[in-house]
Amino acid sequence: MWMVDINWRRLIVQTEYLKVRQILIGSEKMSEQLTQEQQQEQQAVAEQQRIEWVRTQYQKANQYLAGKGIIPDNVAVTESRYLPPLVALWKLNTKDKKSYWVISGDLPTDHMPFSAAPTARDAMRSFSLNWQIKAENIMNNATVEKTQRDFANLLVSRAQGLYQLFEDEAVWQSSTNA
């Protein structure tokens, strides 16, 4: 459990490190170190990995809803957000004209009605707060087993990570998903 929390934080730190590194190094420095062909190859590999991660998370979200008896019809791409390899937040529309937010990634997959949060950012905050409440309810149970306690701790750590992403203006400044 402890290692999972460290890995989550490590991914956030690595993501921030890479952003800062790109700014500091600049394109001129990278051009000196790598040929243009090597840069293009690295970018192509990174883009392919990102696409595969997004595809996997989309499938995971669809399967999750189907497992709940909710049949997805399509995704609202412009309203969905993803930050590989941490989190994907999908607005999925169903055949019966309902919409749901579904969250997946390096965290528990979960859903809520679209009516609970008007934007992806609000949905992320709502998942964070809901998970903290769920974790508290689990821990307040008189007979908490180790597995339940571990799950409650996972919910708390992921809820904290989601809330940090919710508060991070840089994450939400871009109007694009990718």
Question: Is 165 a member of any domain?
Answer: yes
Question: Is 9 a member of any domain?
Answer: yes
Question: Is 136 a member of any domain?
Answer: yes
Q: Is the dihedral of CA 148, 154, 157, 159 positive or negative?
A: negative
Question: Is 124 a member of any domain?
Answer: yes
Question: Is 178 a member of any domain?
Answer: no
Q: Which residue segment(s) compose the domain that 128 sits in? A: 2-173
Mean pLDDT, range 3-11, rounded to an integer: 59
Mean pLDDT, range 146-152, rounded to an integer: 94
CA distance 46 to 143: 46
Structurally, the chain folds into a number of domains equal to: 1
In this predicted model, which residue has the larger pLDDT, 66 or 29? Answer: 66
Statement: residue 7 has pLDDT above 90: no
Q: What are phi and psi of 5, to 5 degrees?
A: -60, -40
pTM given for the model:
0.77
Report yes or no: 104 and 90 within 8 Å, Cβ to Cβ.
yes
Question: Is 81 a member of any domain?
Answer: yes
